Structure 1
Amino acid sequence: MQVESAYLQVMDWSDLPIFLAIARTGQLTKAAHALEIDATTAGRRLRRLERSLGERLFEQGPDGQSLTPAGERLLTQARAMERAAAAIGSRDAGGPVRGTIRASVSEGFGTWFVSRHLGELAEAHPGLAVDLVATSGFLNPTRRETDVAVLLARPRRGPLLTRKLADYGLRLYASRAYLAAHKPVVTPDQLREHRLIGYVPDIIYAPELRYLDEIPGAPEPQLRSSSINAQYRMTTAGAGIAVLPCFIGDADRKLARVIPDIRIRRSFWLVTHEETRHFPHVAAFAGWLAALAARHRTELEG
């Protein structure tokens, strides 16, 4: 412990954010982008930090940088310092919320729900910048790749705080034009007479997306995409029948529910890292999102 205290005294403290960013993202280029500096500068400052400590902090692997034992030790101390700094900065509880929040959400939820309401968050917190990462897949809150994540399943491990954000419903939808031009579909067995739209089976990134497995008699989708937005576009274009979240399908008057008795239920889980959940900007965003989901419960559940 004396050795660690000694080398913390001789290092340049301004290099610690570089170290933390690389530890969280696992890649020097991503860390540089997050800190809005170039990768060459980030690499030079990391090497300077390693020279001052006399130890290597990362090993280079095929997927990026991974912490060495010395890096793990420094990470524990750096996180403690970060928490202390955040506590000092948040003592004025009545002050404005400032900072950048990164939120990782599913593509459909981010595109069709969260993004519609971000203006109200910006009005309430003018000093808060939001990076909304809405993709097919999620950033990892355990590795601190994101401040807040909305996941399709509750994480089973990791230093995380998890709570249910909302339940949401999914139904079968088709365009009204498609239904007018094709055979009636009243029962699940009749789905075999229609084109189904769905995910690419072997690259589904979460088992919760295997919706068609829950519909008796449903055939494999003929038109497939890893993107729920692409599936929606195919459906509105009259290409076939798809399972869509109700907050997407019900929002488009060109679409109609098919076999209304079939309803699939899923949940969104709000996840933050236990070390940062009390940071003012993280708490502000998580609280706003929870309140937003509660207000729009009917829309989400369909």
Structure 2
Amino acid sequence: MDWDNLQIFLTVARQGTVARAAQALHLDATTVSRRVSALESALQQTLFERAPSGFIPTAAGRALVPHAEAMAAAAARIRLAESGAGLSGQLRVSVSEGFGGSFIAPRLARFTTAHPDLEIDLVASSGFLNPSRREADMAVLLARPRKGPLITRKLSDYSLGLYAPADRRDWQDAATALPLSRAGIPVIGYMPDILYAPELDYLGEIEPGLRANVRSSSILAQRRMIAGGAGVGVLPRFLAAGEPGLVRVRPEQTISRSFWLALHRDVAQQPRVRAFIDWLDAEVRESRGLLLPA
């Protein structure tokens, strides 16, 4: 089996269309389509349904994805080890506060140990620096940018849920039995007038018209407020994992969002940028169950 074809298959499965996969791979769409067909011929299986909306993985395609991801993660680790020598300079990465502080930061030692001469700026905040204006080498965003001299692709989907304080069983029961607007429970969320991304306006997906009456611009502060007993609220499930002060309520309600990787075309082939992307891809693949719990 041709490993290059398997990489192309995985990119198409993630991106959903040949055009987006071609952009992410720096190939033309005809080449991508031809290589997918070659893989299907080699395996004697149809891996995608060709639909007007894009390429939809078949059962065989879905079964192949985790194996392709495991091989890609192993290849990324090998490249990371091989590229350790000689990488230097500054790398600035803009990322949301929650993902940067609770996912990237605890795992970053593996990358910094492999590249001790690199200077890493992890800008984890409520808001993003703009790679189009070269404010950062790359950014992990909550939506795909639609303009600018950027290379973009989906990094990962992730899920969110409704959480209550672990020591407030009465709130847990009430939130399960009643609409929150009638349960008399404080609701924690973002301040709507300074919401820095529309993807964070998700309370209406829990209940139509639901509003927060205890608010913060910081998702880390919201997590602490919920665990501390100030109310109930929506959190990314990777952010709530391992927090003993939190209990998920209404487990049948799951909100889905995505992280998108964006970088300026001029820096796409810089070795330090490629090394960080390879490392981040590997970490995301290995933590798929944390970002998208079953």
Q: Normalization by structure 2: what TM-score?
A: 0.68
Cα pair distance change 1:191/1:251, threshold 3 Å = farther
- Aligned residue for 2:133, secondary structure, equals coil
Q: 1:250 to 1:218 in 2, by over 3 A?
A: farther
Q: Which residue of 2 aligns with 1:280?
A: 271
Distance of aligned partners of 1:235 and 1:197 in 2 relative to their CA distance in 1, 3 Å threshold: same
Q: Is the CA contact (8 Å cut-off) linking 1:162 and 1:272 kept in structure 2? A: yes
**Paired residues of 1:187 and 1:259 also in contact (CA < 8 A):** no
> CA distance change for structure 1 residues 199 and 95 in 2, over 3 Å: closer, same or farther?
same
Matched, 1:167 2:157: yes
Which contiguous aligned blocks of 4+ residues in structure 1 show a shift greater than 4 angstroms?
92-95, 180-183
Partner amino acid, structure 1, of 2:214: L
* 1:244 counterpart SS class: strand
Matched, 1:291 2:294: no
Counterparts of 2:83 and 2:203, CA distance in 1: 48
8 Å Cα contact 1:189-1:217 kept in structure 2: no
Superposed CA RMSD: 1.9
Q: Distance in 2 between matches of 1:189 and 1:119?
A: 44
Which amino acid counterpart does residue 111 of structure 2 have in structure 1? L
- Tell me by how many angstroms 1:297 deviates: 0.9
After superposition, residues 153-232 of structure 1 pair within 5 angstroms as 153-180=143-170, 184-187=174-177, 189-193=179-183, 194-217=185-208, 219-232=210-223
Give 2:225's match in structure 1, choosing from 231, 234, 247. Answer: 234
Show the counterpart of 1:142.
Answer: 132
Partner of 2:261: 270
Partner letter of residue 96 of structure 2?
S
Cα distance in 2, alignment partners of residues 233 and 250 from structure 1: 13
1:260 is displaced (CA, Å) by: 0.6
C-alpha separation in 2, matches of 1:225 and 1:235: 12
Q: Partners of 1:260 and 1:230 in 2: how far apart?
A: 22
Quote the offset at 1:190 in angstroms.
4.2
Partner of 2:240: 249
Equivalent residue in structure 2 for 1:127, among 102, 117, 130 = 117
Letter in 1 for 2:233: A
Q: Which runs of 5+ in 1 are unaligned?
A: 1-91
Task: Please tell me whether the aligned partners of residues 196 and 240 of structure 1 are also in contact (alpha carbons under 8 angstroms).
Answer: yes
User: Would you say how many aligned residue pairs link Structure 1 and Structure 2?
Assistant: 211
Code of the aligned partner of 2:182: R
Describe the shift of the 1:192–1:99 C-alpha distance in structure 2 as closer, same or farther (beyond 3 A): farther
User: Is the partner of 1:96 in helix, strand or coil?
Assistant: coil
Cα displacement (A) at 1:269: 0.5
Contact 1:188 1:259 in 2 (8 A): no
Amino acid at match of 1:129: E
1:125 Cα deviation after fit: 1.2
Structure 2 Cα separation of the partners of residues 182 and 166 of structure 1: 30
User: Residue 150 of structure 2 contacts residue 264 of structure 2 at CA under 8 Å; is this kept in 1?
Assistant: yes
Q: Judging changes above 3 Å, is the alpha-carbon distance between structure 1 residues 181 and 257 closer, same or farther for their aligned structure 2 residues?
A: closer
**Offset at 1:128?**
1.5
Q: Give the 3 Å change call, closer, same or farther, for CA 181–153 of structure 1 in structure 2.
A: closer
What is the Cα deviation at residue 180 of structure 1? 4.3
Equivalent pair of 2:191/2:215 in contact (CA under 8 Å):
yes
1:217 offset after TM fit, Å?
A: 4.3
Shift of 1:216: 2.4
Please name the residue that 1:301 is paired with. 292
SS at match of 2:119: strand
**C-alpha distance in structure 2 between counterparts of 1:181 and 1:94, whole Å:** 51
Q: Does 2:96 match 1:109? A: no
**Is contact 2:84-2:115 (8 Å) kept?**
no
Does the residue aligned with 2:103 lie in a helix, a strand or coil? helix
Aligned 8 A contact 2:97 2:126 in 1: yes
